[in-house]
Structure 1
Amino acid sequence: MATRKRTPEKQPIPLAAPKDSLDRELIALLQANARESVANLGRKLGVARTTVLARLARLEATSVIVGYTVRLGSEAAEQGVQAYVGISINPKMQRDVIRRLTRLPELRQLASVSGEFDYMALLRAPTTMRLDALLDEIGEMEGVLRTTTSVVLALRVDRNA
């Protein structure tokens, strides 16, 4: 008599959380190489290509995966200047300011924070002149009340690589 593998009852998928180990493995593979083909992902995971496509569609639809990006090699990433920018924003203009900030290719991170500022941005520019122009551009955005910038002199620990 053949035994059937009992499948767990379907649970609602929580937003921003992978459903199971296959999702987590798929995400890890994409984090290592977001350009990996669906066929290669399927081979590495031991599942059909259509399974990978379905998982990707679900992960994107539930906002677990919200985009794909390029990571620069250490040599390219170390070039230029990096700065943390504290930004205070008029609450009524928050969405517009965030939309404009996200269009800046030099923006690496944007976090809402507690304390003196509303947001903390991490910028990377190829030169100090470009950083200066970016800071002027951010400071002149309608809805930005004030900014304070700290330029990174040396990165002591980086666990995001």
Structure 2
Amino acid sequence: MPRLDRLDAEIIGRLTRNARAGVVELASAIGVARNTVQARLRRLEETGIVRGFRPDVDLESVGLPVQAFVEVELDQRRMAYVVKAITQLPEVLEIVTQAGRADLHVRVAAVSHAELQEVVVRIIDTEGVRHTTTTLAISTPLPYRVQPILDKITRERGYGRSTPPPTDPLVE
């Protein structure tokens, strides 16, 4: 398993805030050589730590104001079939397998409550699904993030082999 250090966490953090930042811009902002940033990015991608760069889409702005989480209990012998079937629904944004009462946690977006109900019915009608519980999302006070935990796990790991940490004017 690749080991992250503070420089890796800094690069990931800056890309999280601005995925369009180029290597030169990142190197300048962090205070390291362009080749260092380029090599780190290549390693982060090759090891699968960074899986891609995606736009952050505001679903409400594109006409999908209704979002929900559907907990799915199923015949676990049918897990692969159910996941494949539910994946075919365009309203399904994410599927997470989990331990607990429900087997799947499915994130869904819809144009209306009526459309959400149709999606839930299609999920329920999937062979192998035993029961669903739907919870409406009202707001997202904390969107998905990784930076605080990356900062925590790299706090004691240094800032690369020979590169000192950048000087932060806010830290005395």
Q: CA deviation at 1:78?
A: 9.4
Bigger relative contact order, structure 1 or 2 (CA pairs below 8 A, ≥6 apart): 2
**2:28 counterpart residue number:** 43
Please tell me the residue identity of whatever aligns with 1:130. E
**Unaligned 5+ residue runs, structure 1?**
1-11
In the alignment, which of 143, 148, 153 is matched to residue 160 of structure 1?
A: 143
The alignment of Structure 1 onto Structure 2 pairs a total of residues equal to 144
Q: CA RMSD in A?
A: 3.1
Q: Deviations over 1:89-128 (max 9, x none)?
A: 3333434544554565544443333332112222222222
| Residue 14 (structure 2) aligns with | 29
% identical aligned pairs:
32
What TM-score, normalized to structure 1? 0.67
CA–CA distance in 1 between the matches of 2:90 and 2:34? Answer: 33
Deviates more, 1:22-31 or 1:34-43: 34-43
Going from structure 1 to structure 2, the CA distance change for 1:30 and 1:84 (only over 3 Å counts) comes to same
1:63 correspondence with 2:14: no
Partner Cα distance (2:38, 2:78) in 1: 38
Could you tell me how far apart the structure 1 residues matched to 2:48 and 2:9 are? 14
The CA distance in 2 between the partners of 1:103 and 1:31, in whole Å, is 29
Tell me, which stretches of 5 or more residues in structure 2 are unaligned? 145-172
Cα separation, 2, equivalents of 1:58 and 1:103 = 33
Looking at structure 2, the residues matched to 126 and 57 of structure 1 have their Cα atoms a distance apart, in angstroms, of: 39
Structure 1 outlier segments of 4+, above 6 Å: none
| Deviations 1:33-68 (CA, angstroms, capped at 9, x unpaired) | 222223322222223333323222222232322233
CA distance in 1, matches of 2:79, 2:18: 33
Q: TM-score, normalised by structure 2?
A: 0.64
